Amino acid sequence: MNDAIVLHYIAEHGEFINGVPTRDLTMADLEAYGKTAAELLAYNRIYSPTPTQLRKPLIVIDPNDGIQDNEARDASTVLNQRKHEQE
């Protein structure tokens, strides 16, 4: 049947793909939105074939002690890596 979930929405920060709902998707959803699972899996931080492949936090920064140089550098590095993954 087309109502079984084939892709799980795993984004943690509201990421989305234009024209595709931000929820778990069924085969019927993919057909209705004109997408293939492979196309959506290319955005590897938004959908996953398994619900357990959750995204790790970018970095944890405690604003109570200020942002340390190493925290800012690490956050910048991770954000740049994720940007390149999506290109």
The pLDDT value recorded for residue 19 is 83
Give the tokens for residue 22: 């931000």
Residue 26 burial (CB count, 10 A): 16
Residue 25 burial (CB count, 10 A): 21
CA 53 to chain centre: 10
37 neighbors 46 (Cβ within 8 angstroms): no
- Which of 23, 31, 24 is CA-nearest to residue 5? 24
The pLDDT value recorded for residue 1 is 53
43 neighbors 82 (Cβ within 8 angstroms): no
25 neighbors 6 (Cβ within 8 angstroms): yes
The pLDDT value recorded for residue 41 is 81
The pLDDT value recorded for residue 77 is 76
- Could you read off the pLDDT tens digit of each residue along the chain, which spans 87 residues? 568 888 888 887 778 888 888 898 888 888 888 888 888 887 767 888 876 544 555 556 666 777 767 777 777 777 777 666 655
